[in-house]
Amino acid sequence: MTKKTLPTYNNLEEKSKLFRIEYINTEKEFDVFFDTHTISNGIYRGINSSQYKIYTSLQRSIITNDLQSVNYNDYIEKVIQHKKLKKYFENFKIPLSKLSILSYIQHYGGPSPLLDFTYNIKNALYFAVENLPVKHEEKNNIKNI
């Protein structure tokens, strides 16, 4: 089976129809951005390329593996009924709920309908630059912004 690639934004104009884009060109502009967002109550997600669309790991798995016939709700119910997971939560006296099980699965890299986000701009910036190459060749390419 050939894996499909995830859809991405082709350019910033396409993305700007859905998101407010802030351009930062200087260190001073970054300092203003950082200071403003450090004291604000925003919700952030650290992504290391502007071209990426936001998908949960379950959505990415369905798209890339061409699993369009998979019933999302059936999958979640099967995961929740998994006996070994139930036993794990019982052993650690963690209340069993959809959220606790799906959080566990997401944490260990399984396909989950949950999406990571943070209220802390520092955490989002860490994930945005975690594996970022040091130097970009093409300045105006969406992949490099």
Buried b (16+ CB within 10 A) or exposed e, 24-53: eeeeeeeeeeeeebeeeeeebebeeebbbe
Res. 68: pLDDT tops 80: no
Res. 26: pLDDT tops 90: yes
DSSP 6: P
Res. 9: pLDDT tops 80: yes
Q: 138: helix, coil or strand?
A: coil
In this structure, of 5-14, 71-80, 122-131, the range with the lowest mean pLDDT score is: 71-80
**Does the predicted TM-score (pTM) go above 0.85?**
no
1 or 57, higher pLDDT: 57
